[in-house]
Amino acid sequence: MDIDITPLPHDVPHESPSSYLLDELALHGYRPFDDEPDPRPLPSSDIASVALESAVESLSSLFLNTRLEADLPDLLWSFVNLFHRKAERIDRDLDDNESAQRRAQAEQDGSEIRSVELERLISQGLTLNERRNAFEFFRDHLAELYAAETGSAWRPRSGSKVYHRALTAAMIDSRDFLNAKKLAETQVLLPRGPRIAFAGGAECNDHRRIWDALDKVHAKHPDMVLLHGGGSKGAERIASCWADNRKVPQVAFKPDWSRHKKRRALQAQ
């Protein structure tokens, strides 16, 4: 005769609420709410690099040697742009966080509620910094893969492509956090080093002469920053490609002719 020894519900040992919660977390994983800090780590750079390289390789193998091969550069450009736009959106959230921190600073009255709120905003700002830096790393690595696949450097259709330096999690004072954020962004937009201005006409295409001249300057000033007019062809385009190849920071001064059309007319006269 078979004997069923399954315990009845009232025979099950009592389980504490904490034990039940820990079992549920271990089984289903932890997912913080929107207003809570996320303790999970960011993807490692090595794992991210391999994953992105595999994605680009798979996409390229789908289109190469087919009638759709001519569409591959546009799709790869859009793939890089996905991460670029995401980083920009997080950067806007970081600006909102900065404004909220300033308001919280002004509202500090010594109460625990105000202090906790400011601490939450600081923690949120640090997390946004780390997320933005991660997406900028993804974008920059994909831009290198784009250049390897297409032979041309990736650039956004509008705006600039900058990489913000990470702000350390050791900052706990809100004013220090905001000052460091402002300093880091200024250094990104205005890189340190001697400024080397370059200018040339759109009809100048002697790339060897231009690269040789810039290599000589770079040998003398290894931390140089190249300044140019951002032309889409000719000497300035060649100089920009040189800076991309040599990993030299560059700043392009592109006039907004829609705003300065009268000045352009005066120059033409």
pLDDT tens digits for range 124-182:
888 888 899 899 999 999 999 999 999 888 888 876 665 554 333 333 355 556 666 66
Asked if residues 198 and 241 have their Cβ atoms less than 8 Å apart, the reply is no
Question: DSSP secondary-structure letter at 40?
Answer: S
> Hey, which residues does 227 pair with through a beta bridge?
197, 251
Query: What percentage of the chain reaches a pLDDT higher than 90?
Result: 25
Question: DSSP secondary-structure letter at 229?
Answer: -
Q: What is the mean pLDDT of residues 43-64?
A: 92
Give the pLDDT band of residue 121 (cuts 50, 70, 90).
Answer: confident
Return the residue matching tokens 């490609």: 241
Query: What percentage of the chain reaches a pLDDT higher than 70?
Result: 68
- Between 94 and 20, the more confident residue is 94
For the chain, what is the mean pLDDT? 78
What span, in angstroms and rounded, lies between the C-alpha atoms of 66 and 31?
Answer: 43
pLDDT tens across 223-258, in order? 888 888 877 788 888 888 898 888 888 877 766 555
- On the question of pLDDT at 48 being above 60, the answer is yes
State the greatest distance between any 2 C-alpha atoms of the chain, in Å, as a whole number: 110
Reported pTM: 0.56
- Between 121 and 162, the more confident residue is 121
Asked if residues 153 and 241 have their Cβ atoms less than 8 Å apart, the reply is yes
Check residue 12 and give its pLDDT: 45
Which spans in 151-234 are helix H? 174-189, 207-220
pLDDT tens across 9-18, in order? 444 455 676 6
Q: What is the mean pLDDT of residues 94-117?
A: 86
Asked if residues 239 and 198 have their Cβ atoms less than 8 Å apart, the reply is yes
Strand 195-197: give its sheet, edge to edge: 195-197, 225-228, 250-252
- Between 108 and 22, the more confident residue is 108
